[in-house]
């Protein structure tokens, strides 16, 4: 392998703006983009009430979980010198909440420091009464991709260099977007919806993929398709069963000691991509557990994984 997976990244983290919360300098997005200015489709009779739970016990870092999202949106990390590339980031949270710091803002700041415009998606949760049910997060992901392309000129982006990345349940959403980017899951609302929602590349990181036991993550499955979902419903929301030749190239990464989402989830997706002739690069690590993001990867074999992602994107001319 050309890149040392255990290369210390403290310098690059500092360059990306990873200051402590105690110093009052957490990574901060530049602005917010509302996905649905006229209101999100399929609003329940009793709209969810947004709540932010701070889960961190470390005064130096945020670890916020957001639930009850009724105003889906993207926060934007704008680089000082945009290189034309963009990444839509979908944090995890088991479809119970959206973990916006360690799997969102920290990646956004890291990417922006390297010239990539990063968009962190606050997507709606499927178990909160929305009419589209399990397609609710995909509605937001498709809409987000189209809005990024619609605003490409304003952000100095190349519409052909917009990628997607997701973690855990957000990795499921990323894979769902990569395989069902053209699925008609909502009625068009404006001219942006005429644009493609297909990412040029996708990086599901320690993703939830299977919706069937024993590989399914129980919480994600329950929240997305329901405790007693039929086999047909499970299949409809298992991205490895929706791969086509039009699925974009993928970067997969997983720790083999992940005891929350088994590594076999990534392997299922890898096998499906290879069967359809879709380019895929896969990295498996002996340790790292689940939910490591950037900060919690330090000192484990997964440390430096983002440099592998960067190298992959550069080879594909995404970041060139």
Q: Give the model confidence (pLDDT) of 259-282 as tens digits.
A: 999 999 999 999 999 999 999 999
- Write out pLDDT tens, residues 61-102: 888 999 999 999 999 999 999 999 999 999 999 999 999 999
DSSP 53-117: EE----TT---EEEE--SS-EEEEE--SS--S-EEEEE--STTT-EETIIIIIHHHHHHHHTT-E
Mean pLDDT over residues 28-37, rounded?
91
Q: How sure is the predictor about 60, in pLDDT bands with cuts at 50, 70 and 90? A: confident
- Name the region of 94 (left: φ>0; alpha: ψ -120 to 50; beta: rest): left
Could you tell me which residue, 238 or 58, shows the higher pLDDT? 238
Mean pLDDT over residues 184-189, rounded?
97
Q: Which residues pair with 290 in a beta bridge?
A: none
Q: What's the whole-model pTM score?
A: 0.91
Given this model, what pLDDT does residue 70 score?
A: 97
Given this model, what pLDDT does residue 58 score?
A: 84
Pairing assessment for the beta strands 250-255 and 31-34 based on DSSP bridges: unpaired
Domain boundaries along the sequence of the chain: 64-315
Given this model, what pLDDT does residue 14 score?
A: 35
Residue 254 phi/psi, 5-degree rounding, is -155, 150
Under 8 Å CB-to-CB from 37, ≥6 apart: which residues?
Answer: none
With H, G, I as helix, E, B as strand and everything else as coil, classify residue 237: coil
Mean pLDDT over residues 233-257, rounded?
98
Could you tell me which residue, 146 or 61, shows the higher pLDDT? 146
Task: Please report where in the chains the tokens 């330090």 appear, as a residue.
Answer: 298
Spatial CA neighbour of 181 closest among 250, 268, 118, 84:
250
- Write out pLDDT tens, residues 97-136: 999 999 999 999 999 999 999 999 999 999 999 999 999 9
> For 127-168, what is the HEC assignment?
CCCCCCHHHHHHHHHHHHHHHHHHCHHHHCCCCCCEEEEEEC
Span between the terminal Cα atoms of the chain, in Å: 21
The CATH class of the 64-315 domain is alpha beta
Given this model, what pLDDT does residue 11 score?
A: 33
DSSP category for residue 172: H
Q: How sure is the predictor about 30, in pLDDT bands with cuts at 50, 70 and 90? A: confident
Q: How sure is the predictor about 27, in pLDDT bands with cuts at 50, 70 and 90? A: low
What's the mean per-residue pLDDT of the chain?
91
Q: How far is residue 17's CA from residue 105's CA, in Å, rounded to a whole number?
A: 10
Work out the number of other CB atoms within 10 angstroms of the CB of residue 133.
15
Here the tokens at position 37 are 């200015």
Here the tokens at position 318 are 């995404």
pLDDT surpassing 50 at residue 6: no
With H, G, I as helix, E, B as strand and everything else as coil, classify residue 119: strand
Work out the number of other CB atoms within 10 angstroms of the CB of residue 244.
11
- Write out pLDDT tens, residues 33-42: 999 999 999 9
pLDDT surpassing 70 at residue 195: yes
Given this model, what pLDDT does residue 57 score?
A: 87
Mean pLDDT over residues 146-158, rounded?
97
């Amino acid at each position: 392998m050309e890149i040392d997976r255990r290369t210390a990244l403290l310098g690059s983290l500092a360059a990306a703006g990873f200051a402590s919360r105690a110093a009052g300098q957490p990574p901060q997005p530049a602005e917010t983009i509302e996905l649905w200015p006229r209101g999100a489709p399929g609003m329940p009779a009793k709209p969810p009430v947004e709540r932010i739970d701070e889960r961190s016990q470390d005064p130096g870092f945020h670890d916020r979980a957001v639930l009850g999202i009724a105003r889906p949106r993207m926060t934007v990390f704008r680089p000082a010198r945009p290189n034309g590339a963009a990444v839509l980031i979908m944090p995890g949270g088991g479809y119970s909440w959206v973990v916006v710091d360690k799997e969102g803002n920290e990646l956004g700041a890291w990417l922006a420091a390297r010239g990539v415009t990063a968009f962190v998606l606050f997507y709606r949760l499927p178990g909160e009464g929305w009419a589209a049910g399990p397609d609710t997060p995909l509605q937001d992901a498709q809409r987000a991709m189209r809005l990024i392309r619609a605003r490409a000129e304003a952000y100095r982006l190349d519409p052909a260099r917009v990628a997607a990345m997701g973690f855990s349940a957000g990795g499921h959403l990323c894979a769902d977007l990569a395989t069902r980017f053209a699925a008609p899951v909502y009625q068009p609302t404006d001219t942006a919806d005429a644009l493609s929602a297909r990412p040029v590349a996708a990086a599901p990181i320690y993703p939830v993929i299977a919706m069937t036991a024993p590989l399914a993550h129980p919480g994600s499955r329950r929240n997305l398709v329901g405790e007693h979902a039929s086999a047909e419903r499970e299949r409809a929301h298992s991205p490895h069963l929706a791969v086509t030749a039009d699925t974009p190239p993928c970067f997969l990464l997983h720790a083999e000691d992940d005891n929350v989402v088994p590594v076999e989830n990534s392997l299922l997706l890898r096998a499906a991509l290879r069967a359809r002739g879709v380019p895929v690069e896969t990295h498996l690590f002996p340790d790292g557990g689940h939910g490591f993001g950037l900060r919690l990867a330090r000192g484990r074999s997964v440390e430096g994984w983002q440099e592998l992602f960067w190298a992959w994107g550069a080879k594909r001319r995404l970041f060139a």
